[in-house]
Amino acid sequence: MADLLKKEQIQIQKTIWFFLLMSWIFRWWSGVLFYQLNNAPFVSVEADNTFWLFHALQFPYFSIHYFYIGIILDLLWLVFAIIGLTIKHNRIISTLMCLLFINYFITFNSVSTHHEHILTGLLFCIILLPIKDHKNFVLVFASIRFYAVFTMFSAGLWKVCRGSVVNPLQMTEILKTQHLDYIVNYPESYYTNFINYLIINPNISNFFWHCSWLIEVAFIIGFLTRKFDKILGIGILLFFFFNYLLMDLFFIEFCIFTIAFYPFKGVWDYYNTKLAISKSI
């Protein structure tokens, strides 16, 4: 069991390093690495106290206002990701990567002036990188699985509390706001016709809205059992595939959470047996 767990722990950590590398490439292509955000005029800290602290300590300021610091931070991310993928566990590099990523998360969201959740999957999963001890790794992995369940289920719950799940025009209004630019700039395209069709047929767009809500609330089962984890993992992928198709939201980095629903035999056997508390204790 220990060998299988060790193998799976390495697999999970390498997958996270791979996502970090892909994220770097995707962000370079999107033009949002530190050096590409150089001298961005506006920031938005909103009411986030952690953002306030980071900005007061000037970490985002140095990252975006000093071009060469930005370049160095970008290169460090790339080099750490490559090292993490190729060599054995290294706690110092893993810890530095975590700090680097937290700084990027805060700086990017500040400069976007819109605090997105697109990177929260990676933000939580990178906690697994510095951990070497099997017991702690399994406990933290189980915690991240519960957090992934929470992210999806709470989204469904917010829609109930705010009443948007029963709003008959919710999806059509989201589509109008989301695609206004595309529709006015490409009035004849197939995609515009598709989105227009959904806007003028609220019953069909609501079908997608309610299906996505059902996927979200179905995650409540994840708090009670791991029996349906494969379905929940597919649920996340489906949810974000349709998000991309209908809303043009590309949440690939968030999908790292699906790793928590993969049935790692070694990890969960260890969780069920080695971490089990006998009744005599």
The burial of 3, by beta-carbon neighbours within 10 Å (0-12 exposed, 13-18 middle, 19 or more buried), is given as exposed
Q: Does 180 bind another protein (CB under 8 A)?
A: yes
The residue behind tokens 């369940």 is: 149
- Residue closer to another protein (CB basis): 14 or 168: 168
Supply the minimum distance, in Å, between the C-beta of residue 154 and another protein: 5
Distance in angstroms (rounded) separating the CA atoms of residues 91 and 52: 29
Supply the minimum distance, in Å, between the C-beta of residue 5 and another protein: 15
- Element housing 50 (H / E): helix 49-56
Q: Report the residue from 4, 21, 32, 217 that binds another protein according to the rule CB under 8 A.
A: 32
Phi-psi sector, 177: left (phi>0), alpha (psi -120 to 50), beta: alpha
Site for another protein in 110-139 (CB under 8 A): 111-115, 117, 120, 123-124, 135-136, 139
- Residue closer to another protein (CB basis): 40 or 85: 40
Q: Report the residue from 187, 207, 214, 220 that binds another protein according to the rule CB under 8 A.
A: 187
- Helix pair 134-161, 229-247: axis angle to 10 deg: 50
* Listed residue (76, 71, 97, 75) closest to 17, CA to CA: 97
Supply the minimum distance, in Å, between the C-beta of residue 58 and another protein: 6
Site for another protein in 189-218 (CB under 8 A): 196, 199-200, 216
Q: How far is CA 52 from the centre of its chain?
A: 22
Site for another protein in 217-246 (CB under 8 A): none
Q: Which stretch binds another protein (CB under 8 A): 7-15, 31-39, 92-100, 258-266?
A: 31-39
Q: Does 43 bind another protein (CB under 8 A)?
A: yes
